[in-house]
Amino acid sequence: MKHSPSPYAQAMLAFWHGDADATYTINRDDGFSHPVPVGPSFAGPPFTPVEQLALDRCAGRVLDVGAGVGRHALCLQERGLQVTAVEVVPELVAIMSARGVAEPLAENLFSLSGREFDTILMLMNGFGMVGSPLGADAFFDHARQLLRPGGQILCDSLDVRQTTNSVHLAYQQANLDAGRPAGQMRFSIEYGGQHGEGFEWLHVDFDSLHALARNHRWSAEKLVQEEGGRYLARLVDDDI
């Protein structure tokens, strides 16, 4: 069966092929929607304070998880670091290769095995890709297999409780009433009138991240927090 690019991939390809105004829409399952310009996904420096600090703290062999089109991987390569950039969207892997990323892989974190890294980098609300507390359990267990002794995870997330938007607050309360974390979101992506498959994303405040990590014998340190609730954390495996 012929592969058909997802709406997200189509938006990225549109920008790559010259549509500077390419924009996709994130649709939440409560009806809230948000347009997202593609351009920033291709942008290099200057980075946000969270991104800049994460890049500055990278060391050794780096695994860039959810690498997109390689904006962080390229920066790290320019600094002389060896970077493996993994991305589940094959069209984005092809773009990374064309942009000069040395080792782009069409993989997800859980399909990697037999490899070891000094730093696992997860940016752009990167911890959210675990999807749920159950996904976080699987993540911590698998990440342990990918880190060398003394290795680290650098990831960012969002404390959704910082909002004053009544629509978002109502969504958070509905999650809590259903026994889910306040920041467990259910999204789909739309582009060009096409809707992609739904997926879950977990925004987690630092105290909750710290508790999740501690349950799996990891240590968590908050490195910086921006206004609005976005923060960068460093996670270290206490067992290695």
Q: What is the pLDDT of residue 3?
A: 74
Contacts of 125 (CB under 8 A, 6+ apart): 156, 157, 158, 201, 203, 230
* Residue with token string 């159950």: 134
Reported pTM: 0.96
Query: Is residue 142 exposed (0-12), middle (13-18) or buried (19+ Cβ within 10 Å)?
Result: middle
Judge whether residue 85 has pLDDT over 90.
Answer: yes
**Phi, psi angles (nearest 5°) of residue 98:** -65, -30
SS3 helix, strand, coil % of the chain, rounded to 5?
Answer: 35, 30, 35
Residue 165 banded pLDDT, cuts 50, 70, 90: very high
> What is the pLDDT at residue 200?
97
Instruction: Label residue 1 by pLDDT band (50, 70, 90).
Output: low
Each residue's pLDDT tens digit, 86-134:
999 999 999 999 999 999 999 988 889 889 999 999 999 999 999 999 9
Phi-psi region of 192 (alpha: psi -120 to 50; beta: other; left: phi over 0): left
pLDDT at 4: 87
Is residue 190 within 8 Å of residue 24, measured between CB atoms?
Answer: yes
Evaluate if residue 2 carries a pLDDT over 80: no
Ordered by where they begin, the domains of the chain are: 46-183+202-237 (3.40.50.150)
Whether residue 37 is predicted with pLDDT greater than 60 in this model: the reply is: yes
d(CA 150, CA 133): 25
For residue 139, give the nearest of 216, 197, 51, 86 by alpha carbon. 216
Contacts of residue 59, defined as CB under 8 A and 6 or more positions apart, other chains included, come to 81, 118, 119, 152
Which is more confident, 56 or 110?
Answer: 56
How far is 72 from 44, CA to CA, in rounded Å?
A: 8
